Amino acid sequence: MPPPVPPAAPDPAGPVRVAILDHTAELGGAELALLRLLESVDRSIVDPVVVLFSPGPLQQRLEQAGHAVVVVPLDARVRDTSRSAGAARMLRAAATTPVFLARLVATLRRLDVDVVHTTSLKADLLGALAAPALRRPLVWHVHDRIATDYLPRRTARAVRALARWVPYAVVANSRATAATLPGVRRLVVAHPGLSVEQVAAAPRSRQPEGPPVVGMIGRLSPTKGQLVLVRAAARVAATRPDTRFRIVGEAAFGTEDYERRVRDEVERLGLAGHVAIVGFAEDPRRELDRLTVCVHASTVPEPFGQVVTEAMAWGVPVVATRGGGVDEIVRTGAPGHETALLVDPDDERQLADAVLAVLDRPADALERAARAHADVTARFSAARGAQVVTSLWREAAGTASRAAAAREAIRPS
Ligand code: GLC
pLDDT digits (tens, 9 = 90+) for 1-52: 455 555 566 666 789 999 999 999 998 899 999 999 999 999 999 999 999 9
Report the 10 Å Cβ neighbour count for 159. Answer: 24
- The packing angle between helices 226-239 and 256-268, to 10°, is 20
Residues paired with residue 249 on neighbouring β-strands, in sequence order: 279
Nearest to 284 by CA among 255, 262, 316: 316
Give the Å distance between the CA of 230 and the centre of ligand 1: 22
Give the gyration radius of the chain's Cα atoms. 22
Q: 354 with 319: CB under 8 angstroms?
A: yes
Q: What is the pLDDT of residues 36-47, one digit of tens each?
A: 999 999 999 999
- Strand (E) or helix (H) holding 53: none
Distance from C-alpha of 17 to C-alpha of 83, rounded to nearest angstrom: 30
**Closest CA to ligand 1's atom 5:** 29
Give the Å distance between the CA of 145 and the centre of ligand 1: 9
User: Which atom of ligand 1 lies at the shortest distance from residue 325's CA?
Assistant: 9
- The packing angle between helices 348-360 and 226-239, to 10°, is 50
Q: 104 with 128: CB under 8 angstroms?
A: no
Phi-psi region of 333 (alpha: psi -120 to 50; beta: other; left: phi over 0): left
Give the Å distance between the CA of 118 and the centre of ligand 1: 15
Phi-psi region of 279 (alpha: psi -120 to 50; beta: other; left: phi over 0): left
Question: Which of 304, 327, 376, 389 has most ligand 1 atoms within 8 Å of its beta carbon, as the pocket-test mutant?
Answer: 304
Question: Which of 31, 119, 173 has most ligand 1 atoms within 8 Å of its beta carbon, as the pocket-test mutant?
Answer: 173
Give the Å distance between the CA of 189 and the centre of ligand 1: 13
Q: Walk along the chain (413 residues) and give the pLDDT tens digit of each residue.
A: 455 555 566 666 789 999 999 999 998 899 999 999 999 999 999 999 999 999 999 999 999 999 999 999 987 766 766 666 666 666 666 566 788 999 999 999 999 999 999 999 999 999 998 888 899 999 999 999 999 998 999 999 999 999 999 999 999 999 999 999 999 999 999 999 999 999 998 888 899 999 999 999 999 999 999 999 999 999 999 999 999 999 999 987 678 899 999 999 999 999 999 999 999 888 889 999 999 999 999 999 999 999 999 999 999 999 999 999 999 999 998 878 999 999 999 999 999 999 999 999 999 999 999 999 999 999 999 999 999 999 999 999 987 666 666 666 766 55
CA dihedral 102, 104, 108, 110 (to 10 degrees): 60
Q: What is the pLDDT of residue 367?
A: 96
- The packing angle between helices 87-95 and 153-165, to 10°, is 60
Question: Which of 143, 300, 310 has most ligand 1 atoms within 8 Å of its beta carbon, as the pocket-test mutant?
Answer: 143
Distance from C-alpha of 56 to C-alpha of 54, rounded to nearest angstrom: 7
**Closest CA to ligand 1's atom 7:** 29
- Strand (E) or helix (H) holding 162: helix 153-165
Alpha carbon separation from 7 to 41, 44, 193, 390 (Å, rounded) = 11, 12, 17, 10
User: Which atom of ligand 1 lies at the shortest distance from residue 173's CA?
Assistant: 12
Q: Going from the N-terminus, what domains does the chain have, and what CATH number goes with each?
A: 16-193+381-410 (3.40.50.2000), 196-379 (3.40.50.2000)
Distance from C-alpha of 147 to C-alpha of 152, rounded to nearest angstrom: 8
User: Which atom of ligand 1 lies at the shortest distance from residue 223's CA?
Assistant: 8
Beta-strand runs (E) in 122-274: 138-142, 169-172, 187-189, 213-217, 244-248
Give the Å distance between the CA of 30 and the centre of ligand 1: 5
Q: What is the pLDDT of residue 132?
A: 84
**Which SS3 state, helix, strand or coil, does residue 117 take?**
strand
Q: What is the pLDDT of residues 206-256, one digit of tens each?
A: 999 999 999 999 999 999 999 999 999 999 999 999 999 999 999 876 788
Q: What is the pLDDT of residue 74?
A: 87
User: Which atom of ligand 1 lies at the shortest distance from residue 302's CA?
Assistant: 9
Distance from C-alpha of 189 to C-alpha of 46, rounded to nearest angstrom: 19
Give the Å distance between the CA of 335 and the centre of ligand 1: 29
Give the Å distance between the CA of 398 and the centre of ligand 1: 29
**Which SS3 state, helix, strand or coil, does residue 251 take?**
strand
Diameter of the chain measured on Cα atoms: 84
Give the Å distance between the CA of 267 and the centre of ligand 1: 30
- Strand (E) or helix (H) holding 343: strand 341-343
Give the Å distance between the CA of 304 and the centre of ligand 1: 5
> What is the Cα 179 distance to its own chain's centre?
17
User: Which atom of ligand 1 lies at the shortest distance from residue 192's CA?
Assistant: 12
List phi, psi (to 5°) of 29: -60, -45
Nearest to 141 by CA among 123, 114, 161: 123
Residues paired with residue 172 on neighbouring β-strands, in sequence order: 142, 189
Q: What is the pLDDT of residue 203?
A: 87
Name residues contacting ligand 1 (CB within 6 A).
Answer: 28-30, 33, 143, 173, 192, 302-306, 325
- The packing angle between helices 362-379 and 306-313, to 10°, is 110
Q: What is the pLDDT of residue 98?
A: 86
Distance from C-alpha of 340 to C-alpha of 354, rounded to nearest angstrom: 10
Give the Å distance between the CA of 33 and the centre of ligand 1: 8
**Closest CA to ligand 1's atom 4:** 304
